Amino acid sequence: MAFDFDTLLPLRGMHTSNYDNIKRTYGVDDPDAIAMWVADMHFKAAPVILDALRDEIEWGYCGYFANTAPADEALAAWLKERHDWEIDPSWVRYTHGVISGYGDVISAYSEPGDGVIVFSPVYHAFFRQIEAMGRQVVESPLVIENGRFEMDLEGLAASLKGHEKIVTLCSPHNPGGRIWSVEELRALTDFCAAHDLILISDEIHMDLTFPGATFVPTVVAAPEHAGRIAVLTAASKAFNVAGAETGIAIYPTAEMRKKLAPVILDRESTPNRYGMAIIKAAFSGGHDWMDAGQAYLAENFRVFKERMDAIPGVSVMDMDATYLTWVSFEGLGMDDAELLKRSVEDAKVIPNPGTQFGIGGSGHMRYNLALPRAKLLEAIERLEAAFKDVQ
């Protein structure tokens, strides 16, 4: 079955964060701007998801939801088939998005003032959530080896002060699209065990792997440490359904589920009815759409990298997964304000400035490549023109 990733959807003025928040965030209101910042795709959701939502609407009942079993079972089957991870559906809990689940684990396993480690540059919402909960952000800067991010666990060990309780892993990594190897995952989980740390593994991008790449869940890589690994994921990034605000938390041990139970009970919430319909539909019938989407995104990345790398002083980090590419402009010798001006005002292409992602972000910008290819090519041409004087 053929799927359409090339049709340009009318997103401006339709209550989309991608377009309707540009003025508030960047102070510009240009109708020609191309949004490449918010991490959702500019594509329609998979037909199987849209059909499931139509069925819910036509049925007409919009009350409280019960019985997550069909969604649990669809998720378990998906993880087994696509990632060789066999879970028990009883391990699954649902949250109001992944960051909500992130807050749950922080609440259960730390106290105000405790340290939460992040490997930066990394997803900016981690910083906001940690600080909002009165914990301290502990940044462990990633190092670049052979053009790729790597964790510096020796450096992290030397910097520990004793108040750290939790380590945050973004897997695949955002930004940069890095899939961590089994050896790296094992080294990290061994590190957590040695220092009595809980590991939160954010695996929300797990299904956005490029053809030929293999994602390995952290629990699969290090099953002996499952009791200290909380896995957070969702259908939201892979299937472009972030608006449903339905996250998935997988707690592999009874002890962990018992520890989280009071926090979950305190929320006193039931799953979003439409989010659950989406999860069941996506994970039971979304295989072909996902395969096609992975190939489309991989080609978008190839085109973007080839063209942007041709600009002297600019380099695009290679990636295995996601649609969020990390671009270095360090070779241009420009400050962050000038880089952002050239992208936002001159090219009218809206990125995330690298400074949002913590240590190592200066001199970089993150661009969302999940656009119809014609619109992506237009954005590339604008960026080439904005930096024409350096070529």
User: Per-residue confidence at 67, pLDDT binned at 50, 70, 90?
Assistant: very high
36 CB-side CA count, 13 A: 36
User: Per-residue confidence at 268, pLDDT binned at 50, 70, 90?
Assistant: confident
**Percentage of the chain surpassing pLDDT 70?**
99
Which secondary-structure segment (H or E) carries 364? strand 364-368
In sequence order, the 6+-apart residues with CB closer than 8 A to the CB of 195 are 157, 160, 164
pTM metric for this prediction: 0.96
Chain Cα centroid distance, residue 337: 25
pLDDT computed for residue 230 by the predictor? 98
- Contact (Cβ atoms closer than 8 angstroms) between residue 190 and residue 157: no
pLDDT computed for residue 269 by the predictor? 83
H-only helix segments in the chain: 17-20, 22-26, 47-59, 69-83, 98-109, 124-132, 153-159, 182-194, 218-221, 236-239, 254-267, 273-285, 287-309, 336-341, 373-386
pLDDT computed for residue 391 by the predictor? 65
Using one digit for the tens of pLDDT, what is the confidence trace for 51-65?
Answer: 999 999 999 999 999
Using one digit for the tens of pLDDT, what is the confidence trace for 223-249?
Answer: 999 999 999 999 999 999 999 999 999
Rounded mean pLDDT of 371-388? 98
Asked if residue 1 has pLDDT above 90, the reply is: no
Query: Which residue ranges make up each domain of the chain?
Result: 17-46+288-390, 60-285
DSSP code for 31? T
Architecture per CATH, domain 60-285, reads as 3-Layer(aba) Sandwich (3.40)
| Single-letter residue type at 123 | Y
Asked if residue 390 has pLDDT above 90, the reply is: no
Using one digit for the tens of pLDDT, what is the confidence trace for 82-141?
Answer: 999 999 999 999 999 999 999 999 999 999 999 999 999 999 999 999 999 999 999 999
Domain 17-46+288-390 has what CATH class? alpha beta
Nearest-CA neighbor of 34 among 386, 380, 379?
379
pLDDT computed for residue 258 by the predictor? 97
Using one digit for the tens of pLDDT, what is the confidence trace for 294-338?
Answer: 999 999 999 999 999 999 999 999 999 999 999 999 999 999 999
pLDDT computed for residue 44 by the predictor? 95
Using one digit for the tens of pLDDT, what is the confidence trace for 170-225?
Answer: 999 999 999 999 999 999 999 999 999 999 999 999 999 999 999 999 999 999 99
Q: Do domains 17-46+288-390 and 60-285 have the same CATH topology?
A: no
pLDDT computed for residue 267 by the predictor? 81
Nearest-CA neighbor of 185 among 164, 166, 165, 199?
199
